[in-house]
Amino acid sequence: MHHFTNKTENYPFILELSMQLITYEMLMLQPPPAKYGGRHTVTLIPGDGIGPELLNHVKEVFRFSCVPVDFEVVHVNSALESEDDINNAITAIRRNGVALKGNIETNHTMAPSVKSRNNLLRTSLDLYANVMHCQSLPGVQTRHKNIDIMIIRENTEGEYSSLEHESVSGVVECLKIITRNNSLRIADYAFRLAREKGRSRVTAVHKANIMKLGDGLFLQCCREVASGYPDITFDSMIVDNTTMQLVSKPQQFDVMVMPNLYGNVVSNVCAGLVGGPGLVPGANYGRDYAVFETATRNTGKSIAGRNIANPTAMLLAGCMMLDHLRLYDYASMIRNAILTTMNETRVSLPSLTGFSPHLFRCHKANPQNFTRRTCAAFRLCHGSVPLSAVRHTTAGASQKRSVCLPNSQVSLFRSFYLDICASTIKVSSLHS
């Protein structure tokens, strides 16, 4: 019974999270209209390593929650040299507009002309903004508390341009491209996002003291955009100082915007700070398309197939996708269920306690159980009453079918359930 005592603390957090997501999602992008009887079709790319199993968890939870999303699965074989697979995937995403993907492995023993498939996907669809929200989650033990950082990373150019050549034998040049257009675009995205979410400070991360022209241009673009947002403070920090500050005082950061490679470093550091790669979802937004995945994009080959990978990040990415599709109710309900489960099972996931990523230590909680418990938590909260019945009345909550539970636990669950319904109704009334 004591498992649920700290649940009420989570509600404001969850509610606020959902509300924040609703506001900026509504204003930032137009999701594709639902087709075929109110059901969305989303491209699903399983990828390699732990990708397939994590996405199976997502499919299971969605099916259980009766989410009106159909997945169009597109496999990409990373062992092949031809780019047909990834082109198929890109076409599918163009068709559906939204995708959920696992990471596709890049075998770097193959010839350099075989480029990273993930990178190809991002650049072809022009998913220029990678957004990651690192928050200290309740119930997760980490060295630093109260972290709340949004990282916006330029996703298409910079060091990831894949333009390399060997000019002389033994000398390789790799080009890092920074353009004014892309820098302005990402800075604008960052400031708009900061404004929608009510953030007060944007920090640009750069290395302009060394790369004077490249990062200098990026910084200049950020400053130009900042002048159009006088309500938001803008400052800049050199990347090595940034990492040093992140490990000593991460609470000082609010929103951070940066080019591609520094974004890679900083997002991984922040993911490690809040509890590991198994917890943080990430989103790639373009003008027309959106692709959701785990924030740190790990393939996790060493833990694949052993039922130990943490599904939280992918499940939360699925929730972000639902918010993008304007299925806010489902998103917040699944999110509630996930956080409930995280607190309830008290899994000492090493990725939750901040040690080796992805592994579940507690034998009672393996990812399949986690997913089942998430579904169970969801069912306990909502039974199988259709959403419309829950939406309209608070009184309707007490008329719900009671769930099969031992008597001692019924009253406990009912109060918990009533609270969830109340919050769901509040959420849904905002945009119905």
Partner 1 sequence: IVGLGWFGMQTVTLIPGDGIGPEISSAVMKIFEAAKAPIRWEERNVTAIKGPGGRWMIPPDAKESMDRNKIGLKGPLKTPIAAGHPSMNLLLRKTFDLYANVRPCISIEGYKTPYTNVDLVTIRENTEGEYSGIEHVIVEGVVQSIKLITEDASRRIAEYAFEYARNNQRSSVTAVHKANIMRMSDGLFLRKCREVAEGYKDIKFTEMYLDTVCLNMVQDPTQFDVLVMPNLYGDILSDLCAGLIGGLGVTPSGNIGANGVAIFESVHGTAPDIAGLDMANPTALLLSAVMMLRHMGLHDYGNKIQTACFDTIRDKKVLTKDLGGNSKCSEFTADICRRIQDLD
Where does this chain bind partner 1 (CB under 8 A)? 106, 108, 112, 115-116, 119, 143-144, 159-160, 162, 164-166, 170-181, 207, 210-214, 217, 239-241, 243-248, 261-262, 264-265, 267-269, 271-273, 276-277, 296-298, 354-357
Pick the closer one to partner 1 by CB: 258 or 327.
258
Nearer residue to partner 1 within complex by CB, 35 or 212 = 212
C-alpha 99/C-alpha 292 separation (Å) is 6
Least distance in angstroms from the C-beta of 254 to partner 1: 19
| Total residues belonging to the chain | 432
Least distance CB 74 / partner 1 (angstroms): 21
Q: State the Cα–Cα distance between residues 205 and 218, nearest whole angstrom.
A: 10
CB of 354 to partner 1, least distance (A): 5
Of the candidates 1, 335, 425, the residue with the CA atom closest to the CA atom of residue 138: 335
CA nearest neighbour of 184 among 88, 78, 257, 276: 257
What Å distances lie between residue 110 and 105, 115, 172, 304, CA to CA?
12, 9, 17, 22
Nearest approach, Cβ of 65 to partner 1 (angstroms)?
Answer: 30
Question: Nearest Cα to 365, choosing from 381, 333, 342?
Answer: 342
* Nearest distance in Å: CB 220, partner 1: 11
> Of 108 and 401, which has the nearer Cβ to partner 1?
108
Element at 313 (helix H, strand E): helix 312-324
Compute the least distance from the CB of residue 110 to partner 1, in Å: 9
Q: How far is the CB of 154 from partner 1 (least distance, A)?
A: 14
Distance CA 203, CA 207 (A): 13
Contact 103, 72 (CB under 8 A): no
CA angle (372, 101, 66) in 5-degree steps:
40
Measured CA to CA, the distance from residue 154 to residue 181 in angstroms comes to: 12
User: Nearest CA to 136 among 316, 271, 11, 246?
Assistant: 271
Q: Judged by CB, which is closer to partner 1: 8, or 241?
A: 241
For residue 164, give the 3-state DSSP assignment.
strand
> Euclidean distance between the first and final Cα of the chain, in Å?
35
| Least gap, CB of 269 to partner 1 (angstroms) | 5
Strand 281-285, strand 129-135: pairing: antiparallel
Q: Which is nearer to partner 1, 56 or 220 (CB)?
A: 220
Of 47 and 354, the one with the shorter C-beta distance to partner 1 is 354
**Smallest separation (angstroms) from partner 1 to the CB of 266:** 8
Judging by beta carbons within 10 Å of its beta carbon (0-12, 13-18, 19+), is residue 273 exposed, middle or buried? buried
| Closer of 58 and 120 to partner 1 (Cβ) | 120
Nearer to partner 1, 193 or 258 (CB): 258
Question: Looking at beta carbons only, is 249 or 392 nearer to partner 1?
Answer: 249
